[in-house]
């Protein structure tokens, strides 16, 4: 729906329209067409990067380290966490492939936004979008078997019983939690580094401002969702 609205420039985007609105219309039309032309490649890349994760599904140095743990409770906890970590990295890897395919189009789009907009609300929205596109790269680029192996380097067997009591199981459980939360923790950190806190409000304000100035509602919606893989 949004793509269809973005492809055709409306009559309001005429010579009488504010320069900001004209720039937005041109930028989103170009991006929508570019993403449409890249969609098949994005799907293919997503499948390829997801398939690449099969190399570490149940083999590799990380799994060897887990299987070398003698304590059954700790070994099983690590194995459960590794399976969950692998599944989440595999899901993120599929997104990574699509992001890689779309990135040239996003980069051209961002170059169109380099000159500051005259309206500060729209400019704040453009800055938030720069952060979202940067996050799309950083928030998924780590989804590889290399990351899986690096995370599992923390695996170790802790002594239990006697003077150690159950502290070993507690330490192994803490590592289990680190593994299963790794992807979410990493993505939140990458998002925060790129203006993640409050970006939604800035984009929503920019969308409202564009329509308030007489801009096309479809273009306004596309302007603030340009980072999406689905439009």
Read off the pTM: 0.85
| Average pLDDT over the chain, rounded to an integer | 90
On the question of pLDDT at 56 being above 70, the answer is yes
Residue 212 pLDDT > 90: yes
For residues 207 and 165, the model is more confident at: 207
Residues in contact with 21: Cβ distance below 8 Å, sequence separation at least 6, in sequence order: 12, 13, 210, 213, 214, 215, 219
Cα–Cα distance for residue pair 8/11, rounded to 1 Å: 9
User: pLDDT digits over 152-201, tens only?
Assistant: 999 999 986 444 445 677 899 999 999 999 999 999 999 999 887 789 99
Q: How confident is the model at residue 132 (pLDDT cuts 50, 70, 90)?
A: very high
**Where does the pLDDT of residue 83 fall: very low under 50, low under 70, confident under 90, or very high at 90 and above?**
very high
Residue whose C-alpha is closest to residue 62's, from 85, 82, 88: 82
CA distances from 95 to 81, 98, 101, 138, 185 (A): 21, 5, 10, 11, 17
Phi first, then psi, for residue 127 (nearest 5°) are -65, -40
What tokens were used for 226?
A: 């340009």
């Amino acid at each position: 729906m949004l793509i269809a609205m973005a492809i055709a420039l409306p009559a309001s985007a005429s010579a009488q329209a504010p320069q900001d609105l004209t720039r937005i219309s041109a930028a989103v039309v170009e991006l929508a067409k570019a993403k449409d032309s890249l969609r098949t490649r994005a799907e293919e890349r997503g499948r390829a990067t997801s398939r690449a994760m099969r190399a570490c599904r149940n083999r590799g140095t990380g799994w060897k380290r887990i299987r070398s743990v003698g304590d059954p409770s700790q070994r099983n906890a690590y194995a459960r966490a590794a399976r969950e970590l692998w599944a989440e990295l595999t899901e993120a890897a599929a997104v990574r492939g699509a992001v890689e395919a779309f990135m040239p189009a996003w980069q051209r789009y961002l170059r169109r936004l380099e000159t500051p907009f005259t309206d500060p609300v729209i400019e704040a929205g453009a800055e938030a979008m720069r952060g979202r596109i940067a996050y799309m790269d950083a928030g998924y680029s780590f989804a590889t078997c290399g990351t899986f192996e690096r995370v599992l380097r923390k695996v170790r067997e802790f002594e239990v019983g006697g003077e150690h009591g159950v502290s070993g199981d507690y330490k192994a459980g803490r590592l289990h939690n680190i593994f299963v939360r790794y992807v979410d923790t990493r993505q939140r950190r990458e998002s925060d580094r790129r203006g993640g806190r409050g970006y939604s409000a800035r984009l929503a304000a920019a969308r409202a401002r564009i329509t308030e100035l007489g801009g096309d509602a479809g273009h306004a919606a596309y302007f603030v969702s340009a980072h999406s893989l689905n439009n």
